[in-house]
Structures are given as C-alpha cells and as structure tokens.
Structure 1
C-alpha cells in the first residue's frame, strides 16, 4: 500500500478515542459510566462545562453548544483544522498498524514511542494572523512574523486563542506547533502531547542554511525571533535551558563556533555553564553576558545588535 493511500475504515478501527483525547490534552472530562464522558468543548473553547459529550467505546462525539459531532476521524480533522484525508494520514504516522488495521496499539505506544520521533505534520493551521497586537507589543515586525509563520490563531483545537509558533526539524519539516497564551492562561506555553522537545533545536534548519560557521543559541522562541530580526540569521533556540544529545550532534556537525546568549538570570547562567561544558570539547564556545534579569527579546534592537557584535569580536 502506498504511503499516500488511506484505508479510512482501518484507521477508525485501529485508533482509540482515548488516545486522541490524551494526545490533544482533552483531559478535563467528567463521567465515565459505560465509556461516556462530558466536559468543555475543545473545538470552540466555550465556557460550558458539560456541552461536549464523547463515547469512547463507540468512538463518537457531539458538542451541544457548537453543534460539532462525528467519529474519531472527524474529531482529529476538526482539532487540526484539516481534511479527513489529512487527519487519517496523520493518524497513520502515529500508528503504523492503522494503515492496514492489523495492529491496535496501546495508549503508551502512541504517547511515548511513536511521537518521540516527531513525525512531520500533515496539516497546516490556517488563518494565522501575524499582525496581532501581542506580536507588536513584543516588537516582532510583520516581516519577521511572516518569515517564521508566527501569529495569533483563532481556529478550533488545542492552540485556539494562542499565538502559534511552527516548529521544524533539522530537515525543515513541520513537526509541531507551540502555543503562547496571550491572556494569562496557564500553561503559558502549550506543546502537543508527546512532542519530543529533546530532538529539536528551534530554527536550526534556517540557521544551517546560512553561510555562517557560527550559531547563536538562545532560550526562547521570541529571543530567537528578535535576534534574527536584529540581523543574525544563524540563531537557534533551546526552548528552555537544556541541551540534549541530538541537538549537541547537530551543532557539532554544522558549526565551528557556538555563541551562548541565554537569559541574564540565575537559571540562565546555570544553563549557559551547563551547555558550555557539553560543547567545549566539540567546538569553540563563546559566552555572551546579559544585564542582570534581562532576556535577549527585552533589549532594544540596537542594543542587542551591539552586544552581539561586540562579543563576537572579543573572541
């Protein structure tokens, strides 16, 4: 069977509704009698706490508020805002047995084994608004937002009402969206369940495509956007303060020098020293200090550019 062929019946049979609910973090459901649950609708994000009804045994759902309903495949398509075919192909990536119906994987298999490899997404979020006021407040220019595909997402699903940031692997394949809350909601950042952050350096595929033998390493998405906007296209983000084994290999194999520009707080300094220790035997390491308590994305663009240029010349 070609990887592009879809056996819809086999996919529906192989995929458990519980797996889909867990993957999209639809976990605030009540009930459970005879496999029936209810809770807040993950599609329209309404305030009603019991509008969304799901029967995990029959693999069907219905929202009595927004009117959405259907089977497990319909739910994935609505959450991803994609076609049924794209949803089925995505499920086949998660669950190889779903292509033929021969295998019914356990919940653990989906959340821990398949998704740790970050398979490419087969859908794009549509209607992402790069001109949102939140981005302007963070001094992200429209051109930068467009280049990175960042913007406010008003559609249905896990990332609804958040600024979404597309995440790619080292080959440039879209593997996830992160969602940044803009209204004080928790968590501040949301990642898809099962996303293997340890396997990815944000923006590595763009940095690797430059001619530079030096790469700047920052902590967060917006640090990365602001550094790139300041004129330094060879920049990646750890999405935290940890540098894992696969990203170490990516940096070692592509760049001669790594410049660490982590936050100017205690966690940033500890993380910077830990990352530097991992890299020193593999490549040249440059440490760039920030004022106490400051982050790269909090500095005026001219000051940020001057800081980086001065540090580079000093090494």
Structure 2
C-alpha cells in the first residue's frame, strides 16, 4: 500500500520530535538531522509536498521514509503510527482512509514476460527484434502476450522507485495505431523513469525510448514535453549538479514553438523548487536537424551518448528573469 500523509500530521510530528525546528517563509521546516547531529538545521521538510532532504547525508525522499528510518519501524507501519500519535483523532476506531490518501496499487498486466525469464517464442522474438532495430537493449524490459489484454503485443518498460516497481509504459511493437497504453488509475506526473539511478547529472527526454537509447549516461523522461511538479521535486531530491534537456526536432513550426515554450516552463519549475544550496547547471541538447529525436539519431549514427561540448548552457541570468515572469530569449 502506498499513501500520502496530510500536512497537519507531518507538522505535528516535527514539532513533537524536533523542538529546534524552524519554519521558513516558504513553509519548509529546518531542523537537525537525527542521524548525524552537528547542531545545524540541515534537514529540510516540505509538509505540503510530503518530502524531505537531509543535506548532511545528501539523501531525500518521501516523508514516510524518513519517519520509518527515524523510528526504526517498517515503512508499511508508518501511516498508522502517525495517525494514532499525531493526528487530532481520538479513540481506537480511526478510519484510515479519512486521514490518509491511499494511492492505487500498480497492477501488472496478464501475459507479462520479461525477456530474461524464459526461452522466447515467436511473439517474444518479434518483440526483442523490434527493440534491437531501435538500438535498445532488452535487459530489464518485457513484453505482453495475452489476446484479451489491453496490453497485448506491447513492450513493457517498468519504472522503479526505491527499488519498487511503481509504474510502467506499454508500447505497441506491431501496427497498432494506438502506440502507448499506460496503467489505469495512476498519475504519470508522479513518476520519474530511472529515478533510483540519478545522481550528479541526468539527461531529460520527452519519451522513454529516447531515454532507453542512452547506454553510458543516466537518462529519464517526462512522458510529454512538460515536466510536472512532482517529477521536478523528485529529480531535485537527488541533488544533481547538471541537468540537460534533450529536445525533439519536429517539422511542424507550431509544435517546435510549443516545445521551446515548454522548455522555458520546465526550467522555471526546476529553479522555483530547487534548494538554495544546490549548485545546478542546466544545459540543452538538440540532435542534428535531420533526425526527429535522439533515438533516431542514435540508430543512424551508433552514438548512444551526448558530449558536453555539443550542449548549450542555459544562461542563469535568463533563468532569473524567467522566474520573475519575463520570457527568456525575447
């Protein structure tokens, strides 16, 4: 079960356990990390977002993970402990769902097979060949073969967070005009592909197949041309020093204009939510004009990486103006 703890309970927990905590003008709470005390208020919690970042240890995540470590209890017990001890509810008959927002569990499609699990049949070989033709390693991926399934004849790309599968993308590998099918009832704006591997730097693409095309650098994707707030926060929690946005080349001028405007909004979002202590450089990479996206470029050239000298640095002064509401580059 996954859950979101209400802001009031998070604040009550902080005030009860960390009397030195100070609330900032942005609503964050700063207090001493209980794991490596040094007398400095370098553990940050945002109650509204339910996120924490321990600057001393350079780790962050959802608030329930912090509570589980602090109390030395299993993650699944955190919600009930917080409800009983830190909510304003009394009595033993506490309705869990009234206090905590319970998130829908991920359901895996029937007929799912991972490429490494078994000897491939005709459909499995066809799916693997599709990936190989697109220059993508099948390791860690799967395919679905179940005639009555909505995910029939689709490549299965899992998303993990803290080692747990939390989402997936299913991409048709035949002539199905509906290329992508995602799990119902789950919000794509809350997941970040490859989040567990993001460290000092990351390349951000629009689509997952572009991200899969990188072999030697860490890549993620927005699943659209717009970075969502929860995605931005999770990426920033990893404290990267360098983020590179990799753009698509669309033939339609209107679509290109939308991509450029979305880029500005994405960078503005990152700058609004990043920690003041984070030294972050943002870069932009555009594949050569003759290729519509990075995957097509990687297939044609065999280059599965991006050189720093091929990237354009985003001007920090322009970012500052953008945050203030002035459109960059105009």
TM-score category, normalised to shorter length: 0.5 to 0.7
Worse-matched range after superposition: 189-198 or 158-167? 158-167
Look up the match of 1:89.
Answer: none
Look up the match of 1:311.
Answer: 310
| Aligned mate of 2:263, from 245, 258, 272 | 272
1:259 deviates by 0.8
CA distance in 1, matches of 2:265, 2:150: 33
| Aligned mate of 2:206, from 209, 219, 244 | 219
Cα deviation 1:240-281 (Å, max 9, x = unaligned)? 111111111112221122111121221433332321222245
1:220 deviates by 1.0
* Number of equivalences: 192
Q: 1:288 to 1:128 in 2, by over 3 A?
A: same
Look up the match of 1:200.
Answer: 191
Cα deviation 1:213-246 (Å, max 9, x = unaligned)? 111111111111111x2x11x2111111111111
CA distance in 1, matches of 2:281, 2:133: 36
- Contact persistence 1:263–1:269 (CA under 8 A): no
CA distance in 2, matches of 1:271, 1:304: 26
Q: 1:118 to 1:151 in 2, by over 3 A?
A: same
Match of 1:167, SS state, is strand
For normalisation by structure 2, the TM-score amounts to: 0.50
For normalisation by structure 1, the TM-score amounts to: 0.53
Q: 1:246 to 1:191 in 2, by over 3 A?
A: same
- Is 2:289 aligned against 1:289? no
CA distance in 1, matches of 2:106, 2:305: 37
Cα deviation 1:102-160 (Å, max 9, x = unaligned)? x9x9xxxxxxx75xx453557896423475221121111xxx321xx223321363312
Q: 1:289 to 1:241 in 2, by over 3 A?
A: same
Q: CA RMSD in A?
A: 3.2
Look up the match of 2:296.
Answer: 298
Structure 1 residue ranges without an equivalent (≥5):
4-102, 106-112
Structure 2 residue ranges without an equivalent (≥5):
2-94, 116-123, 251-255, 275-279, 315-330
- Is 2:244 aligned against 1:259? yes
Match of 2:307, SS state, is helix
Cα deviation 1:15-34 (Å, max 9, x = unaligned)? xxxxxxxxxxxxxxxxxxxx
Which protein is richer in helix relative to its size? Answer: 1
Cα deviation 1:52-106 (Å, max 9, x = unaligned)? xxxxxxxxxxxxxxxxxxxxxxxxxxxxxxxxxxxxxxxxxxxxxxxxxxx9x9x
CA distance in 2, matches of 1:190, 1:201: 17
- Is 2:124 aligned against 1:137? no
- Is 2:180 aligned against 1:189? yes
Look up the match of 2:226.
Answer: 242
1:287 deviates by 1.2
